[in-house]
Structure 1
């Protein structure tokens, strides 16, 4: 694949990033007091957001969050490996957010059209995508559940995405700091699903098993 360049031979993707940075610098200069406050005060995010790293799904845009408001963990298919799985990155972020930063709400947010979920429907060659192949294995329980339920093919993708989010909520509870916080009523965990076409978030209600519009009364509780 040939990298697109401008007339001066500059990579267009890098040029776009530099121009974006230039616009940020203008914004920074306009609001220096805010950015100085961010730099000099301890961060106090309101949510631990565990979401997919899909470039089309931007947590701060979806929630209209300012810098400093979301503590984000983003990976392929918004996975929360269980505490015994040996993945340090996600576990460390969970412990730091809850223990050091005092975050008291965790959102696991998946999205429609998730390629990470789709990956197991079209198996990856392990010799060429070893790391990716191992990672998307975390989505297998959802695939197995949906297959066992004999969900119609045209509904299977959405059903798998939803089931995967529910499994990640279960995985959160394998972390002692989460389980203790939930049991004591100090920590809330929330499963959300972002519909990219509709621009709508649906929240999972563990009491009823329903997925309700986040703007419905009580859906985000």
Structure 2
């Protein structure tokens, strides 16, 4: 595949990023005090957001969060490897958020049309995509559950996305710092799914096992 370039030979994707940076610099100058405070004061995020790295799903846009309000972990298919899995990336962020930043709510957010969830549907070439193949194994339990439940094919991906989020909530509880915080009532864990076509979030209710609209689930006016 040939990289698209403009008439002066500059990569168009890089040019777009540079132009975006120029716009940000103007915004920075307009609100320099806000950004200075971000840089000089300790961060105090409201949520630890564990989401998919899909470029179409932007947590700060969905929640209208300002810089400094979300502590984000984004990876393929919003996975939370269990504490014994040997993957320190997510675990380190969980421990840092709770122990050092004072975060007391963790959101695991999946989304409709997740390519990471669908990846197991087709063979993954081990010689070219070994890392991807190992990573999406974290979604297998959800696939197996949905298959065992004989969910109709048209509904299978959506059901798998939901089941996967529920399994990640279980995985969160394998971390001692999370389990202790939840047991003591200091930490809340939340399973959400963002529908890209509707712009809506559904929230998982662990008491009933049902998924409801987020505003309804939290009793928003």
Q: TM-score, normalised by structure 1?
A: 0.98
Partner residue in 2 for 1:147: 147
SS at match of 2:84: helix
Alignment of 1:15-94 (within 5 A): 15-94=15-94
Alignment of 1:186-201 (within 5 A): 186-201=186-201
Do the aligned residues in 1 keep the contact of 2:98 with 2:104 (CA within 8 Å)?
yes
| Cα deviation, residue 34, structure 1 | 0.1
Segments of 4+ in structure 1 off by > 2 A? 217-220
Partner residue in 2 for 1:164: 164
SS at match of 1:83: coil
**Aligned-partner Cα distance in 2 for 1:122–1:208:** 33
| Cα deviation, residue 126, structure 1 | 1.4
CA-based RMSD? 0.9
Which structure 1 segments of 5+ residues have no match?
none
CA deviations 1:75-98 (Å, max 9, x no partner) are 000000000000010000000000
| Cα deviation, residue 127, structure 1 | 1.7
Compared with structure 1, are the counterparts of its residues 108 and 219 closer, same or farther at alpha carbon in structure 2 (3 Å cutoff)? farther
SS at match of 1:81: coil
**Aligned-partner Cα distance in 1 for 2:154–2:129:** 28
**Aligned-partner Cα distance in 2 for 1:144–1:124:** 18
CA deviations 1:200-219 (Å, max 9, x no partner) are 00000000111100011536
Compared with structure 1, are the counterparts of its residues 219 and 132 closer, same or farther at alpha carbon in structure 2 (3 Å cutoff)? farther
Partner residue in 1 for 2:210: 210
